[in-house]
Amino acid sequence: MKPKLLLITPPFTQLNTPYPATAYIKGFLNTKNIDSVQADLGIEVILKLFSKEGLQSLFHVSCFKLESAGHEVSDNCKRIYALQDEYIKTIDSVIAFLQGKNPTLALQICQEDYLPEASRFAQLEELDWAFGSMGTQDKAKHLATLYLEDISDFIVECVDANFGFSRYAERLGRSANSFDELYDALQQPHTYIDEVLLSILKERIQTVQPNLFLISVPFPGNLYSAFRCAQWVKKNHPQIKISMGGGFPNTELRSLSDTRVFEFFDYITLDDGEVPVELLVEAVCQNEPVEVNFKRTFLLEDGQVVYKNNSTKPDYKQSQVGTPDYSDLLLDKYISVIEIVNPMHRMWSDGRWNKLTMAHGCYWGKCTFCDISLDYIKVYEPVAASLLCDRIEELMAATGQNGFHFVDEAAPPALMRALALEILRRKLSVTWWTNIRFEKSFTADLCLLLKASGCIAVSGGLEVASDRLLKLIDKGVTVEQVAKVTQHFTQAGIMVHAYLMYGYPTQTIQETVDSLEMVRQLFEAGVLQSGFWHQFAMTAHSPVGMYPEQFGVVKETEAIGTFANNDINYKDKTGINHDKFSFGLKKSLFNFMHGICFDYPLQDWFEFKIPKTKIPADFIYNALENEGSLTIKPTAKVVWLGGKPAVEYFTKSKKGKSWEMMGLTFHDKKESFTIQTNKEEGEWLVSILNKISVVNAKVYSFQEIQADFEKGLDDFELFWYSKPIHIIRSYGLLVL
């Protein structure tokens, strides 16, 4: 039997770009000549819902609830229902605009008499100040986003309470130690959203006619719809084998034992999917019954859930898995939205990004809150910069897009440097961003190199802005170090997003307040552009979850359910209720991200008494003023980003003595500048800049440059720290 695979991501993940898991697997299957088709059912459901026909159907379905005396609905829903003709009239044009196909509509949207407005538009008064710095297209995109959110609110209240643009029935998948609640929900009649989803799935199954159906479940918000899809296929096409993989089973289902799960799925695979899927293809498509080997796969055998890992086949190296393949996906139909106007924060929802990975796993792999015992973090394997650039060029040709989001746990600085050099060497025009650790390797010069290669933003974990807790987390950074690194990125023109954490074990109220003050100062100094507060959660595969006694916490539950086993309830010995800080922390951050309210006392963000901060008001300012070491390691790499200078010779005289001089005129993209040196040093400088140009394959060390200078000239150190070198250092002569 010839294999034919259908790979889907069930609703919902992102509106603006596909989640990359199926593209990664399809890219691998291409290397094995295995036929596959992929689909992002999330965007397809959204496009069907948010269309003229979709809204007509939606308002028709909701009319009973709105018009019957026994159902109480909000005034907001009544308003949207009353304006249904306006929504139906405008929806197709607005969706086309958000897909980048109808840019002239921005002018009408910005006049603010085109879109019907409900409760989401109430926040406009608070954000009026921001629109002065926004272009027409961005303002219109933000207003159109509010318009969609109004319709979403209507769906949640009147049609399906589980709806959400980036998640669906997430509550059923979060911390679901027991399968009971999800199983019961799956026995209920189909919801309106279910019907839309299954009508699309039906078409896909009929068109593709797969014999193996792979469902990727990255998050809890995809779980319910994944089971609904599997349930429908089991009922209507029982001959098709169904498997689940992805981030959710990788972290949550590692001790699965509930047999009812296999009423829906034949297989559930863990961790890297390439070898497990390859073996499933062999198992499903073999013509004769033979003994089958599996890799990290749950299945039902003799009425019991068993975990099969009897294949000796090793996992593929990152160089062997192929380039992600985004074909089949509706790349021109994704929707870019702007929920808030912060330019860094919007990147998760605005724009189409090709997803790639610089390295498998995390090169640090020590953070105590993280699932570092699992292979997707523990097994670190970088991809060569040359191969990454090959994949970049392949994806640019295939998708027509030059935007890349590297979805690493934490991109390694050395590999980022190598990638940037390779991008510049190949003269590629790309835009990219990634996740990092705020470590001292990110010097000012490295950040300038990354910017020159197309890096526009980084996100990284500051976590708890307290040196004591950062040490307990084993983050390997200090707050002062984070401040310097964020300054380097910001000065290079690269935006910075910080992941922030509260409620870490043993964290005191004072430390929470001091952490907020650190964050306030970082935003006020302009070195952070965006952030997000997360409340600490104990997970079974993290050091805190495995060794709680070392972190001052006591487990209240063990992750021993029959279904999802990752989150663990615990009691912090401090007895502090960290939940109460959530609203104040997030509200203050929302304002800081918009550049306002830095002068508010911290107490104003909370409705209960908090202690005064113990952090000096100039802590971050002083940290940023503190100059680092000016010494250069002999092994440091030296690169010239600029072009070849125009040379002019002239003679200089003083007190009857004359000597030959050189004027070197450089032109960069913004301006021109000239430096002057004596003839010998100038000719050497022209020669060495040509050698260390970023377009050359060989990268010279500082030691090699010094040796080259000293072949015919004296006192390299005096020359290196001279005014001419100082000038060109600021125009692209980088020491890495």
pLDDT tens digits, residue range 427-437? 999 999 999 99
Tens digits of residue pLDDT in 457-474: 999 999 988 999 999 999
Of 661, 660, 724, the residue nearest 688 (C-alpha) = 724
- pLDDT at residue 653 in the model: 86
- pLDDT at residue 67 in the model: 67
Burial class (CB in 10 A: 0-12, 13-18, 19+), 522: buried
Cβ-contact 706, 692 below 8 angstroms = no
Tens digits of residue pLDDT in 495-553: 999 999 999 999 999 999 999 999 999 999 999 999 999 999 888 889 998 898 888 88
- pLDDT at residue 71 in the model: 67
Whether the link from the prior residue into 606 is cis, omega within 30° of 0, is: no
Of 449, 511, 436, 448, the residue nearest 481 (C-alpha) = 436
CATH architecture of 353-625: Alpha-Beta Horseshoe (3.80)
- pLDDT at residue 16 in the model: 93
Of 537, 536, 535, 518, the residue nearest 527 (C-alpha) = 518
Residue 652 has pLDDT above 90, yes or no: no
pLDDT above 70 as % of the chain: 95
Q: Categorize the per-residue pLDDT at 70 as very low, low, confident or very high, splitting at 50, 70 and 90.
A: low
Average pLDDT over residues 26-30: 97
Residue 341 has pLDDT above 90, yes or no: no
Residue 177 has pLDDT above 80, yes or no: no
Helices (H), 636-675: none
Q: Categorize the per-residue pLDDT at 675 as very low, low, confident or very high, splitting at 50, 70 and 90.
A: very high
φ, ψ of residue 576 to 5 degrees: the values are -80, 140
Residue 130 has pLDDT above 70, yes or no: no
Measured torsion, CA atoms of residues 90, 93, 97, 99, in degrees rounded to the nearest 10: 120
Cβ-contact 527, 139 below 8 angstroms = no
Beta bridge partners of 381: 360
CATH architecture of 4-43+169-320: 3-Layer(aba) Sandwich (3.40)
Tens digits of residue pLDDT in 590-641: 899 988 999 999 999 999 999 999 999 999 999 998 776 678 899 999 999 9
Tens digits of residue pLDDT in 476-509: 999 999 999 999 999 999 999 999 999 999 999 9
Average pLDDT over residues 187-202: 96
Cβ-contact 692, 708 below 8 angstroms = no
- pLDDT at residue 361 in the model: 93
Domain ranges for the chain? 4-43+169-320, 48-158, 353-625, 637-735
pLDDT above 90 as % of the chain: 77
Residue 350 has pLDDT above 60, yes or no: yes
Q: Categorize the per-residue pLDDT at 131 as very low, low, confident or very high, splitting at 50, 70 and 90.
A: low
Beta bridge partners of 528: none
Tens digits of residue pLDDT in 246-278: 999 999 999 999 999 999 999 999 999 999 999
Tens digits of residue pLDDT in 311-336: 999 999 999 999 999 999 999 999 99
- Whether 4-43+169-320 and 353-625 share one fold: the answer is no
Residue 572 has pLDDT above 90, yes or no: no
- pLDDT at residue 288 in the model: 62
Q: How far apart are CA 578 and CA 581, in angstroms?
A: 6
Beta bridge partners of 433: 405, 457
Tens digits of residue pLDDT in 290-306: 678 999 999 999 999 99
Of 493, 524, 494, 734, the residue nearest 619 (C-alpha) = 524
